[in-house]
Amino acid sequence: MKTINFKLQRMSGEEDLALSYDELLVIGYAGRNMEKTMEHIKELEEQLGVPAPKKIPTIFECSHELLTQEKDIKFVGSKTSGEVEYVIVLYNDNIYIGLGSDHTDRELESVSVPKAKQVCPKPISKELWDYNDLKDHWDSIKLISYQTINGVEEVYQDGTLADILPVEKILEELKERVGDIKNSIIYSGTVPLLKGFAYGDNFRCMMVDEVLNRTIALDYNVQVISEEER
């Protein structure tokens, strides 16, 4: 069991939350539009050689140690990239929502998707929202990400939570295939890329709730570790 600290932002105010969690899980191929999801699977297979999954959505277990709130994060290899995702945080029978990036090694992905997920740290926001505050306008909440490449920041993803399977569906899949889970952190799957994979030195993303006029932001630098011995 690991512990991580958050600021829980409720409509009534903010409070500190030190959360101990048992599982870190990453959901893949979680698009709500099945036709587009299948197109994405085919695209990955043809362009990157990523094998098609046996079942969708996919569920990957990751090491506790991968979860991070650091600003500067080191990765092996130059072809790793982030993906903006909402994050389900289960704690003491409550559901909270955070923002995360399922940073993944794209070269290793063609060999083994589980290994590609496992070798990269998983950035997560320092803020959480109470899911009960979001239910009635869930699909309208925006997910946007940016990559900085050669000093120029470009929009990388631009979608809404309507693009991804909802909380209840993800938890239903987990209960059926993993069992009852408590005190877990679950990355939801992502929204479509605008122009295909890109590899920058900074990844910035936001979850924007225009109904309640608030935003959770996540921003980290991608530092490439040399693969050569010193």
| 191 exposure class (CB count in 10 Å sphere: 0-12, 13-18, 19+) | buried
Percent of the chain with pLDDT over 90: 73
At 31, the pLDDT band (50, 70, 90 cuts) reads confident
**Per mean pLDDT, which range of 19-23, 81-85, 133-137 is the poorest?**
19-23
Q: What is the mean pLDDT of residues 208-219?
A: 97
At 131, the pLDDT band (50, 70, 90 cuts) reads very high
Q: What CATH number has the domain bearing residue 180?
A: 3.90.850.10
Q: Please give the distance of CA 229 from its chain centroid, rounded to a whole number.
A: 32
Has residue 204 been placed in a domain? no
Has residue 208 been placed in a domain? no
Higher pLDDT, 4 or 48: 4
Contact 64, 21 (CB under 8 A): yes
Has residue 209 been placed in a domain? no
Contact 81, 147 (CB under 8 A): yes
How much is the pLDDT for 12? 84
Contact 17, 8 (CB under 8 A): yes
Has residue 197 been placed in a domain? no
Q: What is the mean pLDDT of residues 52-70?
A: 92
Has residue 66 been placed in a domain? yes
How much is the pLDDT for 229? 63
> Is the pLDDT at 27 greater than 90, yes or no?
yes
Three-state SS at 113:
helix
How much is the pLDDT for 228? 65
Has residue 205 been placed in a domain? no
> Is the pLDDT at 36 greater than 90, yes or no?
no
How much is the pLDDT for 24? 96
Has residue 202 been placed in a domain? no
Concatenate the DSSP letters of all residues of 56-111 into one string. SSEEEEE-GGGEE--SEEEEESS-EE--EEEEEEEETTEEEEEEEE--EEHHHHTT
**DSSP letter, residue 35:** H
For the entire predicted model, the pTM comes to: 0.94
Has residue 171 been placed in a domain? yes
Higher pLDDT, 192 or 49: 192
Structural domain for 116, as ranges: 2-72+84-138+161-192
**DSSP letter, residue 50:** P
Q: Which residue spans within the chain are E strands per DSSP?
A: 2-10, 13-21, 23-28, 58-62, 67-68, 72-76, 80-81, 84-91, 94-101, 104-105, 122-123, 127-130, 142-149, 152-160, 184-190, 202-209, 214-225
At 11, the pLDDT band (50, 70, 90 cuts) reads confident
Contact 19, 90 (CB under 8 A): no
> Is the pLDDT at 230 greater than 70, yes or no?
no
Structural domain total, the chain: 1
> Is the pLDDT at 148 greater than 80, yes or no?
yes
Amino acid letter for position 145: S
> Is the pLDDT at 55 greater than 90, yes or no?
no
